[in-house]
Structure 1
């Protein structure tokens, strides 16, 4: 467990970040025409639910509340942590490289505090070790934000021999949720899974085999990534359904961050030995894509109690690439309960135990 850090006092001013990114606060507040993406009714929704506009001030202060964010040393995870620390929260940065995590935590200014723990989602034994540290340290969590992810690249295997993208993006997070359940189920905690609209092209079905999910052959890195994002949304929907059925106070929400310059692609190109393409990708991302701070906007809305449980949150403009966070329709490939049940079954087989809900 890293040393708890209380950054220097400062304010996290979301309005300034919006202005620097070319989006005014008025853009986030003004009423818009209904989204063209139809939504299914979600648990907890009322006529007063925030359908098309959301003010980050609604989230309010988060003093004496603890959040765990995976992959929080860069990109959207770091910007989410920055905002929450600015609201007075205690944020645990769960990262693969603790030295980078400590460096990131040192840059977070605000009245809140941070801690850094080692978490390698591609190693289920290490997930268990990290979970034990958190269980020994904290009594409850306001939210577990499953943000970390990898994309594409050559075929790599996890420590347990599974395809690394599926192991990192889905299996590791499922194992973390299961292990931290005592910290979640004891209070009205929220589980947030960062998905993507790329998941609409996922190919998981009720007939998906273990081999197809865990060790696909032939290997298509792009398609596997899509499958992992479909799995994130399927798992979020099924988790929320099961919590409602069991009268658990835990709720689950999925997020599509839109097109944000997170260097996710660049890191995968570097792992594949394509250094020149990686540098080009970083430049293009900086110029064409919106900032990670705006990508974090959807995640922040997802932890607002006024956001209905079971929701799918993300931008709707320019093909769901840009704009303020709204409530999206769950795409058909993630709406099938039989596919969700099959994913749940294979996940339990991998974890070698039933999931706790």
Structure 2
């Protein structure tokens, strides 16, 4: 009988008993937070893990920690700045061999208004378009694996905004960091929906995950009073518990055609009209196939 996991499970719990030797994994944003714990769990099960990070010095410290705790040397660090398509291109051009697991974990949250060199609002630039460019450029390596999985780290924050197709980068409307973050997290789920449809014939499966309430460096731009209130009101996970759902989706979840796309607490989430408790469920606009296809086409044009 397959083991069962819950909100209390850790990433190491999920990989207990798994053998990932011979499998190559990339985890973006793996120099801190749940990214480190995701990479640690995959490495502990024998996977060869690349920490794809913007700050390589922090990445090397994370890699040293993973090597020390797991006893494996199959951990390397590579630079990628997801806001910079030239950096993404350099990373993917340097990759060789099959890629079995791609965990799109890196992200930014509630930034003050910022844009990249193409004028893209930074949440969409990093959280969605950078990862979109990464995944599509790595498609040959994913196909070569034969049974690759892509996991996109989303958030219950997706409920705050669908894709603003008429003003995706807040060029017309006043900038709102909550809406900017929300639409980028919706984009993460829609990517999983459309990539599964397009790439299933290549043996590639996809999922989006909600890690849970974890307080990391991601919330550094929040108002301190709001952050303190959130910590009082909502249950908190450790980073190891927060990484568990990413690892579950990457290794154990049923991702066959027709199965759920969005996971939380190591199980499929319920589709809800609104996320009443701020944490659980996925709203319909994040699963809409027409929006997923439209976003894919728009994203392809943007990164061209």
* Partner residue in 2 for 1:56: 14
Whole-angstrom CA distance in 1 between matches of 2:175 and 2:15: 45
User: Which one of the candidate residues 264, 269, 285 is aligned to 2:218?
Assistant: 264
Q: Is 2:91 the partner of 1:130? A: yes
Whole-angstrom CA distance in 1 between matches of 2:75 and 2:9: 30
The change in CA–CA distance for 1:56 and 1:227 in structure 2 (over 3 A counts) is same
User: Which one of the candidate residues 238, 251, 267 is aligned to 2:205?
Assistant: 251
Q: Is 2:163 the partner of 1:213? A: no
- Larger deviation: 57-66 or 94-103? 57-66
Q: Is 2:269 the partner of 1:328? A: yes
| Other structure's SS at 1:56 match | helix
Q: How does 1:301-316 map to 2 (within 5 A)?
A: 301-309=248-256, 311-315=260-264
Q: Is 2:34 the partner of 1:73? A: no
* Partner residue in 2 for 1:236: 192
Q: TM-score, normalised by structure 1?
A: 0.72
| Other structure's SS at 1:214 match | coil
| Other structure's SS at 2:42 match | helix
The change in CA–CA distance for 1:102 and 1:338 in structure 2 (over 3 A counts) is same
Q: Compute the displacement of 1:200 (Å).
A: 2.1
Whether contact under 8 Å (2:192, 2:206) holds in the other structure is yes
Whether contact under 8 Å (1:265, 1:281) holds in the other structure is no
Q: Compute the displacement of 1:72 (Å).
A: 0.3
Whole-angstrom CA distance in 2 between matches of 1:192 and 1:305: 12
Whether contact under 8 Å (2:255, 2:261) holds in the other structure is no
* Partner residue in 2 for 1:349: 301
Q: Compute the displacement of 1:345 (Å).
A: 1.7
User: Which one of the candidate residues 224, 230, 238 is aligned to 1:291?
Assistant: 238
Tell me the number of residue pairs that the alignment of Structure 1 and Structure 2 aligns: 279
Structure 1 residues not aligned, in runs of 5+: 1-17, 29-54, 316-323, 353-357
* Partner residue in 2 for 1:35: none
Based on CA coordinates, which of the two structures has the bigger radius of gyration? 1
- Larger deviation: 293-302 or 80-89? 80-89
Whether contact under 8 Å (2:113, 2:121) holds in the other structure is yes
Whether contact under 8 Å (2:249, 2:263) holds in the other structure is no
Whole-angstrom CA distance in 2 between matches of 1:281 and 1:156: 25
> Aligned-residue CA RMSD in angstroms?
2.7
Q: How does 1:192-207 map to 2 (within 5 A)?
A: 192-204=151-163
* Partner residue in 1 for 2:64: 106
1:91-128 per-residue CA deviation (whole Å, 9 max, x = no partner) reads 10000000000011111121432110111001111111
Whole-angstrom CA distance in 1 between matches of 2:301 and 2:170: 14
Whether contact under 8 Å (1:301, 1:313) holds in the other structure is no
| Other structure's SS at 2:106 match | coil
Q: Compute the displacement of 1:65 (Å).
A: 1.3
Structure 2 residues not aligned, in runs of 5+: 271-281
The change in CA–CA distance for 1:102 and 1:283 in structure 2 (over 3 A counts) is farther
The change in CA–CA distance for 1:292 and 1:249 in structure 2 (over 3 A counts) is same
Whole-angstrom CA distance in 2 between matches of 1:230 and 1:23: 25
Whether contact under 8 Å (2:29, 2:107) holds in the other structure is yes
